[in-house]
Chains A and B, each alone.
Chain A
Amino acid sequence: MSATGGMKRQQRVNSALVNGILIVICILWLVPALGVFVTSFRQSKDIFGSGWWTVLPHKQYVEKGEIKLPDTVDVTGSFEVEGVTTTFEELRNGVTLSDGRQLTWFGNRRTRLIKVAEQQWVGFGANLTLDNYKNVLTGKEIKFKDASGQEILRKGNNLGTAFLNSVAVAVPATIIPILIAAFCAYGFAWLNFPGRKFFFTIVVAMLVVPLQIALVPILQDYTKLNLNGTFLAIWLAHTGFGLPLAIYILFNYISTLPRDILESAFIDGASAFTIFTQLILPLSVPALASFAIFQFLWVWNDYLVALVFLGDQNRVVTSALAAIVGEKGADWHLLTSGAFISMMLPLAVFFALQRFFVRGLTAGSVKG
């Protein structure tokens, strides 16, 4: 009895520990994200005036009035004001009265001005706006007030077009390598041909080659082929850089499919190609989906390859974001809203495909 009780307590402690750590990690990741999210809806002036958390309802001192000290009061020593004896130095730091009001000296000694503030709930009517998103998406002239309240007129960042460019880059750059890699992995896993192990080793060895060393040679070749700045160029580049990992991941999955299933299809008269399309592909959906997520996120977040092969002709989201930082370093309201726009599609892709991570399609094929 006591032994099982002890074990149960141990389990509870363990799960509490795990959950606690998970909660801490979630908070560590979510709070800054929330900050960016809130900031993206605030006006430039507010962003520089106060932190994002001030949009939440909270108590703070709000100015209620002021007291002008008469000239008769000697402000060099201690004096009495609103029923308390205090000095100029204390008032500079703020003096709290027994009724909760706060007195603060305004300016230098000669002003003889004391501001009176009271604690109040604020933040219910947060001054939020969608203008940042409108501004960052459009390519037309935009107007906004900067930190000092000055009206500024400039061209928008055209993130809408950049978003479409990113889609035009990421979707083919995900599908093409998966198609090639699936064929390849099937061949390596199930077909017999001379040099199979040798070629597979070479493919896996490619995983250790950093893509940066290939940038310049490829760029030179693209220049000769007149491909620079085209979408085809970046599709090919991402396909090449993504294939080793794709083949490796898909090979690992496809080679674990039950041999009996393929052999039985083979006996029933299926060709190698039919087996691939009718059995391998549908059964590999979990692996295909998980690699698709990896590749899509990688391409979507890629800045280097896009910058090198697309340049500024067809700016993708990452390039456009970098431009916001570079050209207009102070425009936090545009940067944060741009960052959120760039996050939306990857999040959608992840939530759409995540169920494939958990679902094992081979369940029930072979008695386990």
Chain B
Amino acid sequence: MAGIKFDSVRRVFGKTVASNDVSLEIKDGEFMVLLGPSGCGKTTLLRCLAGLERVDGGRIYIGDRDVTDLAPRDRKLAMVFQSYAVFPHLTVFDNIAFGLKMQGRPKDEIKRRVQEGAELLQLQDYLARYPAQLSGGQRQRVAVARGIVMQAQVLLMDEPLSNLDALLRLQMRAELKRLHAEIKATTIYVTHDQVEALSLGDRIAVMKSGRIVQCDVPMNIYDDPASVFVGGFIGTPPMNFLKGVVSAEGAPQVVVGESRIAPTPAQTPALAARRGQPILLGIRPENLAFASSAQRNTLRGHVVVVEPLGSHKLLTMQVSGETIKVSVPPDQSVASGNDVWLHFDADKIRWMDAGSGDTIH
């Protein structure tokens, strides 16, 4: 068993709190993604787990062991670095074998395991080469191979794909997912790329300013963001937010510009408690569609820019003085300058507190 538990882990650099009492439990064999903008403390959390950074407070457990005060090598984990961190003066074989040699494994075992690792990452033909003779993608494979031959129960990856070009990243992403399915090690994957996070993670922990703001399975993070921050960070383009006010009288409705939007029955009680208060309406670009006329839950919008992207058209629109993005089917006829009605289902709307930005349930 190699679940991981962060128990209010704290790490402070000068006045910056890089990790603000973070608590997180990761199940054995789970692929957990730490996602957040740069400087949110996700790498610090990973380095604390690896033992490269000491913690200023809290405990870290791997399985049943308290590893908080252990040296990195006693934590029995493997790590893949953003910069690959392959040893330039060693061949690919020696690079992959380095950790095993450090453990003092017998020669034939090292050879067998390096071969296995190289096969898993399709590096068999490059074992005698030096890193300088490899492409960026191959070096990245070497770095991953180094991590997995250790057969550590915990595999850490710190933005391993961010130095690759877009196409290679796409390819490696799928490969990492296949790899995880094969080796089943508990994996923590740090990234600022929300697409990577959505595609790879069993669960995603979204971080901001040293705190985890939401930790859930990818579809919940996408569909039901815990705050304006999460909704605005995830998705390309991100979630749209419109300012509105909850009606003071009658059935609770939200006034956005000239439109009145009725919540679903489930949302009604929460809104009823906020009569007369400002509120934010969050809606994903693909949940908006053109409507022929004004009806229930429509907004009047003015098309500013039309971007045909092949699989869909991305529109930039003005709605009640705010700019939003709308995704429509590629065959939808629309031109910039058009004034249209936008329709949406009430259950696709997420209501957020206008002050704190937190989602209202």
Contact = CB atoms under 8 A, between A and B. Distances in A.
Contacts of B131: 364-365
A363 B139 CA distance: 13
Interface in A343-368: 361-367
A292 to B, nearest CB: 18
B89 interface: yes
A282 B73 CA distance: 22
Contacts of A361: 88-89
A283 B89 contact: yes
Interface string A142-171: 000000000000000000000000000000
A364 B52 contact: no
Nearest to A264: B85
A269 B100 CA distance: 9
Nearest to B132: A364
B83 A267 contact: no
Contacts of B52: 263, 266-267
A266 B73 contact: yes
Interface in A83-124: none
Interface string B73-92: 10001110111111111000
A267 B50 contact: yes
Interface in B119-137: 130-134, 136
A267 B84 contact: no
Contacts, number: 80
Contacts of B139: 364, 367
Nearest to B89: A282
Given A268-B102, A367-B139, A362 B88 contact: yes
Contact of B150 (A265, A266, A268, A364): A268
A3 to B, nearest CB: 33
Contacts of A264: 79, 81, 85, 146
A71 interface: no
B85 A269 contact: no
B103 interface: yes
B98 A268 contact: yes
A242 to B, nearest CB: 26
Contacts of B3: none
B102 A274 contact: yes
Contact of A366 (B77, B85, B98): B85
Contacts of A268: 73, 78, 98-99, 102, 146, 150
A130 interface: no
B103 A267 contact: no
Contacts of A270: 73, 98, 102
Give the most central of B81, B88, B133: most A CB within 10 Å.
B88
Nearest to B102: A269
A260 interface: yes
Contacts of A329: none
Interface in B133-162: 133-134, 136, 139, 146, 150
Nearest to A283: B89
Contacts of B102: 265, 268-270, 274
B185 to A, nearest CB: 14
Nearest to B104: A269
Contacts of A260: 81-85
A365 B83 CA distance: 8
Nearest to A282: B89
Interface in A231-279: 258, 260-261, 263-270, 274, 279
B88 A283 contact: yes
A367 to B, nearest CB: 5
A260 B163 CA distance: 14
A269 B152 CA distance: 12
B83 A258 contact: yes
B113 to A, nearest CB: 13
A170 B102 CA distance: 37
Give the most central of A260, A269, A362, A365: most B CB within 10 Å.
A269
Contacts of A261: 85-87
A366 B87 contact: no
A341 B52 CA distance: 54
A364 B130 contact: yes
Contacts of B130: 364
B99 A364 contact: no
B237 interface: no
B278 interface: no
Contacts of A282: 89
Nearest to B51: A267
Contacts of B132: 363-364
B57 interface: no
17 contacts: A258-B85, A260-B83, A260-B84, A260-B85, A263-B52, A263-B72, A263-B81, A266-B73, A267-B77, A267-B79, A270-B102, A279-B87, A361-B88, A364-B132, A365-B84, A365-B131, A366-B85
Given A263-B52, A365-B87, 12 more contacts: A258-B83, A260-B81, A261-B85, A263-B79, A265-B87, A269-B99, A269-B103, A283-B88, A361-B88, A363-B132, A367-B83, A367-B139
